[in-house]
Structure 1
Amino acid sequence: MRRRRHNDDPDPGPANEESTRLTPPAEGAARPRAILAALMLAAMAYSQLQAMVGPALPTLQREFGADTSDLAWIMNGFILSAAVATPVAGRLGDMFGRRRVLLVALVLLAVGTAMCGIAQTLPMMIVGRVVAGLGGAVFPLSFAIVRECLPRARVGPAIGLLSALVGVGGGVGIVAAGPIISHLSYHWLFWLPLVLIAAALAATVAWVPGDASRVPGRVDWVGALLLSGALVGLLSALARAGTWGWTSSAVLALFVGSGVLLAAWVWQAGRTTDPLIDLRTMRLRAVWAANATAVLCGITMSTSMFLLPQMGAQPRDTGFGLGMDITRAGLLILPQSFTILLAGVVGGRACARYGTRAVLMSGALAGGSGLVVIAFLHHEPWQAFLGSAVVGLGTGFVQTALGTLVVDAVPAEQTAAAAGANTVARNIGMTLGAQQAATILGAGG
């Protein structure tokens, strides 16, 4: 059995690095750009759908006649299914090929989105969102494909761009939701993104090469069920704590149940020869530090993306609102989306030149400064735009550094699983951030 390399192992050198690729880069300078373009389309489609529904929740509440707690599952179902699918898809990609599993993830994203497009009832909408959320595997699979198929010098910048699209897609989705709801109907929130998903599918089929070899093994389905149950319990508790109360018996039971299932998963992963996620990899200092930071980054990104449009739409007599309509309020996210993309473009190169630690620290400082601006300067639109831009710059640098840090820290065959765990950590942070923003607005109102 081939030994897996960890950070304390000697550097294998360029020759061995190339041997870990499952598929060599295609000949011609255009091929890496085409591969990256296909992966960017997939990432953009998923990120856009993740955030686009948020501004439409009041409209969906009127359409379906549902209460707020039931309506929340439109968002929570998407996040929960993505959290469950991400680690499983990483292992399936190792066994059956990343390109093949990526295509399956995009098909599921398309099917779920189409279900939401035709939904006339809340239950069907929630089911569609759960199916679409399975497409969350596009990010860890894309990271693994980048590492396998792109020249080593391009891996860092590519990871930066893909990481940035988490925020860019979310920002575009939030901004676009207002005009779509105002001039069309909620159904078009799903029909229009289907065009982007179709383009991503076509580009993946045409440009992303298949895997020449695969890592043998099996899927630890017992571990998958245990980890899925732990994540569902944890994210459900975080999502419902604002409504039920952090000390309510239901929320506490979810936290305890999640902890028990997580402990059982750790035990199961330690005794199987083919764990869903290699715990030795998760114990690497770079990996666990990156996952902890991803939680904080998710809180920052979700808080600002949720808070800014809501603040903009609140009346001025609240003391913190700007009195904007839904379309103008959504535009407050645009500076954040632009600077996230800017940070993604330059962040990968900055990591190669100055190191991931320097980029990570710079991003954290910028993101924190942006939140301070939003907290103390929110009386005029330009102040909100400024805070949004600074938060985006920081978030983009942090996400780029985290992606690069995880990819560099783990063996090639663990890339998808490690990136998947980092994605789950960010989703946990985003759930916490949304709850924090809702609590702040509720107290302010």
Structure 2
Amino acid sequence: MPETTTDQPTRIAGGAVVPVLAFAGIVVAVMQTLLVPVIKDLPQLLDTAPSNATWVLTSTLLSGAVATPIMGRLGDLYGKRRMLVLSLAVMVVGALVSAFTDQLLTMIVGRTLQGFAMGAIPLGIGLMRDMLPREKLGSAMALMSSSIGVGGGLALPAAALVAQHTDWHALFYGAAGLGALAILLTFLVVPESPMRAAGSFDLLGALGLSAGLVLLLLPITKGSDWGWSSGTTLGLFAAAVVVLLLWGLYELRVQAPLVDLRTTARREVLLTNLASIMVGVSFYVVSLVLPQLLQLPTATGYGLGQSMVVAGLCVAPLGLTMMFTAPVYARLSARYGPKFTLITGLVVIAIGYGGGLGLMDAAWQTIITSVILGAGIGLAYSSLPALIVGAVPASETGAANGLNTLMRSIGTSVSSAVIGMVLANTANNVNGVAVPTMHGFRVSFLIATAAVAVGLVLAVFLPKTARPAQHTQLRASSEEEANLERAEEVLRGFRGRILDAGGAPVARAKVTLIDRRGRQAGATVSAEDGSYALAVPAQGAYVLAARALGHGPLASSATHSGEERTVALDLSLPGEAVNA
């Protein structure tokens, strides 16, 4: 999925771009966790069974899981800011649909539309990658990636306050207003990225991914009602496996896939994405368990009898701690690399859930659990985009980060479905109302701990990354310098100068990298001193084609071993041919 630039210079990102993009991420998180304070009341509010009410949350996570790679790919093709605005607009429409209904199916439709806003996370990271100087990119991506937790933590007490004192539908009006504000700020502050990828949109791949994920999550949530050994449950699981396998085979064959599985198959990308699923599982468990534990009446013998607002305030440190870990991550990553910070984050999460099993007897204990988990999740979330960006060519940033966010969304979707099923199956029936039990809460924490353990093993096997360079980086002030800085982020590639027939440097020469199949694998424009740099996606033989106004074209064959090093190659353009 090669990426090219327009003829216009890259616009310089203003100081407000990162806060606005982070605000968009916070709005997405608010939407995602909007109903957590009223989750225990959803069956009564919608007049349905607890297992059905779970889909009000799961549908949002599921549509978000599907939307992330779709919006990432559309952003690469048609403009990241344009798709960011579109995803937020769909969220606003969904919030308004939910605001006017008490019917389960209509509510699920509205929540499904709201889930499309999850595409804002990879789009925001992609915009940062395209516009920011290298020295600011790491901390900015960490802030954007952590915004999902920051918004969730801030949304819990605010949503609880609204739900406790007004009609719960007001939550959706608030979400719609925040979404509209994010759209306005994006239009006013965030410039469109000039980077574009070649190819077309993979509609069949999008439909296949959607169908596979629905077939997978539906029996997880309804298996206890249908029976885990029933024909319906087993049939849906089998259908999910078949559909996802066929989808994978199709993605490997299509020329412009929604998800580049070959890129995904790289060790560092594959392990990072698998670890992302585990981080997603661990993040959502605490958001589902602690608010319910805090709000259950003390008459149960284990409930803490707190109001919605107090419960929200006790869980709020989860998001606030994630926000404060962003600068900590930047320092740790700069010194030790993102792999180290990911492992550190997972260890802290494991400590939080392990200790949390014994810290469920008082409200202050849940605050301690929230702080520890927030610190760990913040470090882990901040590390993931940096690991992905460092492992793929610049042309695949949007799609690769979209896939990584997809993995996190799959983790939260599975977490919502599984924890909802666990709490429903272990609940006691009191006067026709299902009341979660302490056993269900502890099992949920154990599931999260097991997921973190798996994620830790995956992170340990990530390949070692080079320690970040300590020298000062200059701000990208033109299209040429921006392209060079992007290429420098991946050490593997070609580097050199474009020269004329007399050996003088040629500025603004278009340099194209072509792989052995004749496909464009990258493109850049030479700087004022004639220098260029191009990253290669893999080892192999390539052709570097260069052309510039007033000079004849040149095509030069070159081979790269695939090692983390640059191959020096100067290209001398012949004089322009003159027809007789």
Q: What residue is the counterpart of 1:118 in the other structure? A: 100
Inter-partner Cα distance in structure 2 for 1:437 and 1:320: 19
Map 1:311-322 to 2 at 5 A: 311-316=293-298, 318-322=300-304
Report deviation, 1:59: 4.3
Change in CA separation of 1:247 and 1:336 when aligned onto 2, cut-off 3 Å: farther
Map 1:176-325 to 2 at 5 A: 176-241=158-223, 243-316=225-298, 318-325=300-307
Report deviation, 1:436: 4.9
Indicate if the aligned counterparts of 1:61 and 1:68 stay in contact, CA closer than 8 A: yes
Q: What residue is the counterpart of 1:153 in the other structure? A: 135
Q: What residue is the counterpart of 1:102 in the other structure? A: 84
The structure with the greater share of residues assigned to strand is: 2
Aligned structure 1 segments of 4 or more residues deviating by more than 6 angstroms: 19-24
Matched, 1:348 2:330: yes
Q: What residue is the counterpart of 2:147 in the other structure? A: 165
Structure 1 window deviating more from structure 2 (381-390 vs 428-437): it is 428-437
Indicate if the aligned counterparts of 2:101 and 2:107 stay in contact, CA closer than 8 A: yes
Q: What residue is the counterpart of 2:573 in the other structure? A: none
Report deviation, 1:340: 0.9
Indicate if the aligned counterparts of 1:316 and 1:322 stay in contact, CA closer than 8 A: yes
Report deviation, 1:85: 1.6
Indicate if the aligned counterparts of 1:21 and 1:147 stay in contact, CA closer than 8 A: no
Indicate if the aligned counterparts of 2:5 and 2:194 stay in contact, CA closer than 8 A: no
Report deviation, 1:288: 1.1
Report deviation, 1:410: 1.1
Structure 1 window deviating more from structure 2 (200-209 vs 323-332): it is 323-332
Structure 1 window deviating more from structure 2 (403-412 vs 342-351): it is 342-351
Of 369, 388, 392, the match for 1:406: 388
Indicate if the aligned counterparts of 2:252 and 2:262 stay in contact, CA closer than 8 A: no
TM-score normalized by the length of structure 1:
0.89
Report deviation, 1:332: 2.0
Report deviation, 1:139: 0.9
Greater relative CO (CA pairs within 8 A, separation 6+): 1
Matched, 1:397 2:379: yes
Secondary structure at the counterpart of residue 88 of structure 2? helix
Change in CA separation of 1:214 and 1:121 when aligned onto 2, cut-off 3 Å: same
Secondary structure at the counterpart of residue 219 of structure 1? coil
Report deviation, 1:78: 1.2
Matched, 1:175 2:157: yes
Report deviation, 1:112: 0.8
Secondary structure at the counterpart of residue 304 of structure 2? coil
Inter-partner Cα distance in structure 1 for 2:121 and 2:390: 16
Structure 1 window deviating more from structure 2 (418-427 vs 320-329): it is 320-329
Q: What residue is the counterpart of 1:141 in the other structure? A: 123
Q: What residue is the counterpart of 1:430 in the other structure? A: 412
Q: What residue is the counterpart of 2:469 in the other structure? A: none
Q: What residue is the counterpart of 2:318 in the other structure? A: 336
* Structure 1 residue identity aligned to 2:264: M
TM-score normalized by the length of structure 2:
0.69
Structure 1 window deviating more from structure 2 (76-85 vs 151-160): it is 76-85
Indicate if the aligned counterparts of 1:99 and 1:211 stay in contact, CA closer than 8 A: yes
* Structure 2 residue identity aligned to 1:104: L
Report deviation, 1:244: 4.2
Q: What residue is the counterpart of 1:416 in the other structure? A: 398
Of 361, 375, 384, the match for 2:343: 361
Change in CA separation of 1:430 and 1:212 when aligned onto 2, cut-off 3 Å: closer
Inter-partner Cα distance in structure 2 for 1:196 and 1:109: 10
Between structure 1 and structure 2, the one with the greater Rg is 2
Report deviation, 1:32: 4.1
Map 1:73-88 to 2 at 5 A: 73-88=55-70
Change in CA separation of 1:234 and 1:224 when aligned onto 2, cut-off 3 Å: same
Unaligned 5+ segments in structure 1 are: 5-18
Report deviation, 1:386: 0.8
Inter-partner Cα distance in structure 2 for 1:255 and 1:70: 19
Report deviation, 1:130: 1.3
Inter-partner Cα distance in structure 1 for 2:209 and 2:254: 14
How many aligned residue pairs are there?
427
Secondary structure at the counterpart of residue 72 of structure 1? helix
Matched, 1:380 2:374: no
Indicate if the aligned counterparts of 1:297 and 1:429 stay in contact, CA closer than 8 A: yes
Change in CA separation of 1:190 and 1:163 when aligned onto 2, cut-off 3 Å: same
Q: What residue is the counterpart of 1:444 in the other structure? A: 438
The structure with the greater share of residues assigned to helix is: 1
Secondary structure at the counterpart of residue 15 of structure 2? helix
Indicate if the aligned counterparts of 1:303 and 1:436 stay in contact, CA closer than 8 A: no
Inter-partner Cα distance in structure 1 for 2:331 and 2:221: 37
Report deviation, 1:24: 6.2
Report deviation, 1:23: 8.0
Structure 1 window deviating more from structure 2 (195-204 vs 320-329): it is 320-329
Q: What residue is the counterpart of 1:9 in the other structure? A: none
Indicate if the aligned counterparts of 2:139 and 2:327 stay in contact, CA closer than 8 A: yes
* Structure 1 residue identity aligned to 2:234: L
Change in CA separation of 1:72 and 1:411 when aligned onto 2, cut-off 3 Å: same
Question: Kindly, what percent of the aligned residue pairs are identical?
Answer: 33
CA RMSD of aligned residues (A): 2.3
Report deviation, 1:144: 0.9
Indicate if the aligned counterparts of 1:23 and 1:211 stay in contact, CA closer than 8 A: no
* Structure 2 residue identity aligned to 1:391: L
1:9-52 per-residue CA deviation (whole Å, 9 max, x = no partner) reads xxxxxxxxxx989986644xxx4432112211211111101111
Structure 1 window deviating more from structure 2 (386-395 vs 83-92): it is 83-92
Report deviation, 1:270: 1.6
